[in-house]
Amino acid sequence: MKIKSIATGQQRSRDRTAARMKEAQSSSEARSTIPARFSGWRFATSAVAHSDGDIQIEGQRAMSVAESWSRVMSLLREHAPADHADLPGPATEDLIAAAEERMGIALHRDLRTWLLQNSLDLPEEDVDDDVMCCGFNGFPDEGSFFLGIRAMERLYANRSRPWGFDPPDQPDDPFWRNEWIPFLSDQDGWSGKFIDVRDGRVGSWFVGDPTVTGEYESMAQYFDFVADMLKRIAAGNNPICKVVEGRLVWS
Q: Give 200 or 18, the one with higher predicted confidence.
A: 200
The letter for the amino acid at 67 is E
Question: If DSSP codes are grouped into helix, strand and coil, which group holds residue 234?
Answer: helix
| Cβ-contact 121, 114 below 8 angstroms | no
CATH class of 10-67+89-219: alpha beta
pLDDT of residue 143: 86
Residues 73-94, mean pLDDT to the nearest whole number: 96
pLDDT of residue 62: 56
**Is the pLDDT reported for residue 212 higher than 80?**
yes
**Is the pLDDT reported for residue 195 higher than 60?**
yes
pTM of the shown model:
0.78
Burial (CB count <10 Å: 0-12, 13-18, 19+), residue 109:
middle
**What value, to the nearest 5°, has the Cα angle with vertex 64 and ends 59 and 67?**
115
Sequence spans of domains, the chain:
10-67+89-219
**Is the pLDDT reported for residue 14 higher than 70?**
no
**Is the pLDDT reported for residue 109 higher than 70?**
yes
Residues 207-213, mean pLDDT to the nearest whole number: 95
- The span from the CA of 61 to the CA of 175, in Å, is 36
**Is the pLDDT reported for residue 118 higher than 70?**
yes
Q: % helix / strand / coil in the chain, to the nearest 5?
A: 35, 20, 40
